[in-house]
Structure 1
Amino acid sequence: MENTQDRTQGLKMLKDKIKNIKVAMLTSVNPDGSLHTRPMQTQEMKDDGNLWFFTGKNSHKIAEIRNDSHVSLGYADPDSSTYIAVCGRASQVTDKAKIDELWHDMLKAWFPEGKNDPNISLLKVSIDSAEFWDSPSSKVVQLIGMAKAMVTGEPYKPGPGEHGNIRV
C-alpha cells in the first residue's frame, strides 16, 4: 500500500519509525561529485523535521557539506522489515547549549574532553523528504515466498506491506 503523508503526520510517523534505529548511513557528496557514505548515530529527531548527530569540526563530512549540503540518510531495521530513506540538507552547528542538551557520556569515546572538547560540533540535517517501506509479513512467510519464487521461476512478490512518501 502506498500513501503520502502531510508534514505533521509524516514527521510524527518518521520519528516513530526511526526511534529504535540508532545508526543511520549518511551519504554526502565529495568535492569531485562522488558519494561518500558512513555510519552515524542519530542523537535526536525533533518534531520540526531536524535530525541531530555529533561530529568532529574538522571531519571530512563537514568539508563535504560546505561544498554541497545535500545528504541522504538510510535507516534499516531488518528484524521488523522497516526501511527508511531520508533526503535533506546538512549544516554544522557549534551551539554550546544544543551540544549540552544532546550530550551523553558515551560520546567521550570520540570526544575525550567531553562537552568542552575543542573538536566537538553537531551535524543538523533538515529533512526535505523521506520514503519508507514496511513489511507486515513474518520472516518465515517472506522466506516461503522467496522459496516459492525460486521453485516456480516467477519473481518474488512480497505480501502487502506499507510504502509511503513523507514530504516536508
Structure 2
Amino acid sequence: MSGSPFLMIGLTAGGQHSEPLTAQLDEDQVDTLHFFVGRGNRLASGGKAMAQFVSKGHDYFACLSGTISISNDPAMIDKLWSKQVEAWFPGGKSDPDLALLKFDIESAELWEADMSLAGKLKMIFGGRIDPEDEGSHAVVRTTAPD
C-alpha cells in the first residue's frame, strides 16, 4: 500500500456510500490504518466499516473489514503528520476541524492477479481460464494479539 495508499472506505451501517481517503501507514501497527479527516466527515461517527484497495498496477486487490473510531492521539498525529496533510488543515495539528480516524482491521480478503502465461494466452485467444492459470486468493484474520 505504500506505493498507492488510496482506499474507498465506508461504514457498513446506514447504507452510506464509501469515499476515497488516503491511508496513513504506521509500520508499527500493521493491522491498523489511520486517516486524517474533518470532524464533520461521515466516517467520524465511527463503527463497523469496509475498505477496498486496488494497487497502482491493478495486480493486487484487498477488501478490509474492521472498526473505525476517532483516535486523536497527539503522539500518533505527530508521527503521521506530513505536508500533504497540512494542505488540508491550515490550522496545523491543532486545527479544530482535525480528526484522526483509526481503522482496526479485523479481517481481509486478498487477491493477487498474477495470471500464468498460459492463462494470459487463453484470455487473448478466447480459451477457458483454468484455476491453475489464475492468481492467488487468501482470507486473513487480524494478527493483533487477543
* TM bucket normalised to smaller: 0.7 to 0.9
Aligned to 2:21: 40
Aligned to 1:49: 31
Quote how far apart the aligned CAs of 1:148 are.
2.7
Selected match of 1:148 from 115, 120, 125: 125
Do the aligned partners of 1:105 and 1:114 also contact (CA within 8 Å) in 2?
no
**Aligned residue runs from structure 1 range 106-145, under 5 A:** 106-137=84-115, 144-145=121-122
What secondary structure, in the 3-state scheme, does the structure 2 residue paired with 1:61 have?
Answer: helix
Do the aligned partners of 1:99 and 1:121 also contact (CA within 8 Å) in 2?
no
Aligned to 1:58: 40
Q: Which amino acid aligns with 2:138?
A: G
Q: Which amino acid aligns with 2:38?
A: G
Q: Which amino acid aligns with 1:132?
A: L
Q: CA RMSD in A?
A: 2.3
Distance in 2, Cα, partners of 1:62 & 1:90: 8
Distance in 2, Cα, partners of 1:141 & 1:39: 35
Do the aligned partners of 1:21 and 1:75 also contact (CA within 8 Å) in 2?
no
> Which segments of 5 or more consecutive residues in structure 2 lack a partner in the other structure?
none
Quote how far apart the aligned CAs of 1:145 are.
3.1
- Compare the two structures and name the one with the higher helix fraction: 1
Evaluate the alpha carbon distance shift between residue 141 and residue 104 of structure 1 in structure 2; reply closer, same or farther with a 3 A threshold: farther
Q: TM-score, normalised by structure 1?
A: 0.72
| Cα distance per residue 1:84-129 (max 9 Å; x no partner) | 1110001011222211111001112210111121111111011110
Quote how far apart the aligned CAs of 1:82 are.
0.5
Percent identity at matched positions? Answer: 28
Q: Which amino acid aligns with 1:129?
A: S
Q: Highest relative contact order (Cα 8 Å, sep 6+), 1 or 2? A: 1
Q: TM-score, normalised by structure 2?
A: 0.82
Distance in 1, Cα, partners of 2:107 & 2:42: 24
> Which segments of 5 or more consecutive residues in structure 1 lack a partner in the other structure?
1-17
What secondary structure, in the 3-state scheme, does the structure 1 residue paired with 2:18 have?
Answer: strand
Distance in 1, Cα, partners of 2:109 & 2:41: 28
| Cα distance per residue 1:8-37 (max 9 Å; x no partner) | xxxxxxxxxx2323101102135xx21321
Distance in 1, Cα, partners of 2:119 & 2:99: 42
What secondary structure, in the 3-state scheme, does the structure 2 residue paired with 1:43 have?
Answer: coil
Q: Which amino acid aligns with 1:122?
A: L
Do the aligned partners of 1:84 and 1:130 also contact (CA within 8 Å) in 2?
yes
